[in-house]
Structure 1
């Protein structure tokens, strides 16, 4: 039986992992930032040794994409330096590290699904610091699985879906960017994949960098329209270009991830984003009804 530490457990993926591990044969310990800060490497080292941890899932990240432009040192401290220290610890202790990365490591200037072999070229502080974290893991040679994902949403935490649900109830109309293309990904799908993989009794674990997102393609406008339609909101949506909604950080214009390598090496199929959105909204409305 594995002893698995989940860092960043209060975020949306961390909370979805809590749901996904119910009934698991493995032993999971969930630690939020207030309980075990990813930047406090001495505390993490002691925790790993005291609890005989053999696997770390790092869900911790500085994800405030625009604020990172004003706080590059803090973003680097969490997304790069802390990850580098985790990788050193993993190598020294023989741990298996699962690290969550992002589609923002790419420039997003192509118009075909992006494979793991393509050269990253981040356009924002967030993307650059996440890439530095990836590179630090690879440099140590520790046993690690890096999972790049995109447009994560959930019933937990702060995300696009929950923001849209709130705004569509408050306003009569909204303008949504239509020229940024990617794939909405239900955090529960990613959590289930990770837990299912760790449940397998394998002598060796898969290592390397893989892309994980749900299937299909959408713009932020498409995503918002699907939410509005499913929830029956009367809010009118207007498609706009990115330059009409300026942000401090540059977003990839096209960041659809190619999952062929993941599906081949792990033998899995992935749900379409619209199917998973329906599941998430059913969960969200069920939770609201019961409150």
Structure 2
């Protein structure tokens, strides 16, 4: 297959490109310098030249707090950019995968969110990503919308890397204990996307590693797994509330998503978040010769 990946220098994008190449697919990896998704002309030109079978749209404005101040930029990238990619992909006859987020929900449900539950984003980031979903649905005849959460991987900054650093530098680390969700390892998500694009089972999917935890419980697990690979963790962990760390953008109290579409369409679900974390930390700290 010929696959074009936007946001190819991001956490998910890099792992997606690596996996596709490993599996023998022809890939056009487009970072910001190769493709400005806010330029419709550029999207059309690059898509027409490569003529992909699938477009995996990972590029996004993901700075949740910054989006509250730069509303136009968030919508220009997450809505307008997605429109440009969707129109160009449709013209090229390509399937479209749009990577979305748990932030399209209000985060107040007592239950995990299902794919076709009503959305109600609370912040600019979530609203702009929901706008992207609507444009993908409207403008593409063959789309997969894949919502994920709490993503971490080998490339770029993320919660796992931050906790590992703080755990070795600080005497005390406070982490919120009143927000729950499902951590998602980028390679596990990429593996699911690879399954998905080889089908015509279009629609909305929730894809995160299985199980759930709070950020505090996630940090506890990171410290435990780090010690298992021989890292010295000196920090003491302390739970705190969201109210103790006010941020410009509202955070969902519940980001847990039910994987109904994965189950009902016969796909393999992603492994438990703790197994993904264990593998990642081993990979992050293994000797070069291994």
Return 5+ residue gaps in structure 2 as ranges: 228-232
**How far is the alpha carbon of 1:91 from its aligned partner?**
2.8
Aligned pairs, number: 285
Alignment of structure 1 residues 1-291 onto 2, 5 Å: 2-198=1-197, 200=198, 205-232=200-227, 233-286=233-286
Report runs of 4+ in structure 1 exceeding 3 Å deviation: none
**How far is the alpha carbon of 1:89 from its aligned partner?**
2.2
Contact 1:165 1:227 in 2 (8 A): yes
Contact 1:99 1:146 in 2 (8 A): yes
- SS in structure 1 at match of 2:35: coil
Return 5+ residue gaps in structure 1 as ranges: none
Contact 1:90 1:142 in 2 (8 A): no
Deviations 1:237-266, CA, capped at 9 Å, x for gaps: 110010011111001101100002212204
- SS in structure 2 at match of 1:216: coil
**How far is the alpha carbon of 1:234 from its aligned partner?**
2.0
Deviates more, 1:2-11 or 1:260-269: 260-269
Aligned alpha-carbon RMSD (Å): 1.6
Deviations 1:10-57, CA, capped at 9 Å, x for gaps: 000011113312432321111111121221221221111112222111
> C-alpha separation between the residues in 1 aligned to 2:20 and 2:3?
11
**How far is the alpha carbon of 1:105 from its aligned partner?**
0.4
> C-alpha separation between the residues in 1 aligned to 2:91 and 2:269?
35
- SS in structure 2 at match of 1:138: helix
> C-alpha separation between the residues in 1 aligned to 2:222 and 2:246?
23
Deviations 1:114-173, CA, capped at 9 Å, x for gaps: 101111111111000000000111122421100000100012111111111122222111
What is the TM-score with the length of structure 2 in the denominator? Answer: 0.94
**How far is the alpha carbon of 1:3 from its aligned partner?**
1.3
Deviations 1:207-258, CA, capped at 9 Å, x for gaps: 1111101111100001111111111212101100100111110011011000
What is the TM-score with the length of structure 1 in the denominator? Answer: 0.93
